[in-house]
Amino acid sequence: MRLLYRLQDGFLALLALIGALAIVALMIHVVTDVALRNTTNTPIPATYEIVTNYYMIALAFVPLAWVERRGGMVQVEVIEPLLNARALLWSDRLVALVSTIVYGALTWVTWLTALKNFETGVFVMAQNLAFPTWPAYFLVPLGFGLAALTTFIRMILPRRDTGHPEIAG
């Protein structure tokens, strides 16, 4: 189990690094575009399209698994204080099961959309330039799929960081 946790943590750290690199790339791209636009009147073509179709999608969907692993998703803990350790463990597993099903369904639907957009070669026009946007559609099922995998692992393996010492294995 510890090997699986270490692999998961390493992979999620890689996702966090990718997210950090996307933020840095976004900042450099936008600052360079604004500087060039104001100094030489030559903006970088398709900056708006790149930001909205690549950077923002990567920042919103790729880190879902990392956020899910860290417990950063919205949680409603109305009855948690009333549960004993065993019931709390099963409650967490039930929530992980429902989350896995939802993330799995979202993965499937967005994967079909990504394939459709790949086949048709979806693009946007930016300054008389056809800018392909179909590759960004694959980031969405990647994010949902990794989140589904994370919640599945949380469902089958006891959580080690629940904050409840009687549950921690």
Q: What is the pLDDT along the chain (169 residues), one digit of tens a residue?
A: 678 778 888 878 887 788 888 899 999 999 999 999 999 999 988 899 899 989 998 888 888 888 888 777 766 677 778 888 888 888 888 888 999 999 999 999 999 999 999 999 999 888 888 889 999 999 999 889 999 998 998 888 866 544 443 444 4
Does some domain include residue 164? no
Token pair of 107, please?
Answer: 């993965």
To which residue do tokens 């998961």 refer? Answer: 8
Domain that holds residue 94: 2-156
Instruction: State residue 75's pLDDT score.
Output: 67
Burial class (CB in 10 A: 0-12, 13-18, 19+), 2: exposed
Instruction: State residue 165's pLDDT score.
Output: 39
Instruction: State residue 137's pLDDT score.
Output: 93
Q: Convert 32-42 to b/e letters by CB count within 10 Å (16 or more is b).
A: ebeeeeeeeee
Instruction: State residue 164's pLDDT score.
Output: 42
Does some domain include residue 166? no
Does some domain include residue 168? no
Instruction: State residue 169's pLDDT score.
Output: 41
Does some domain include residue 83? yes
Burial class (CB in 10 A: 0-12, 13-18, 19+), 21: exposed
Instruction: State residue 74's pLDDT score.
Output: 61
Does some domain include residue 167? no
If one counts the domains in the chain, the total is 1
Instruction: State residue 97's pLDDT score.
Output: 92
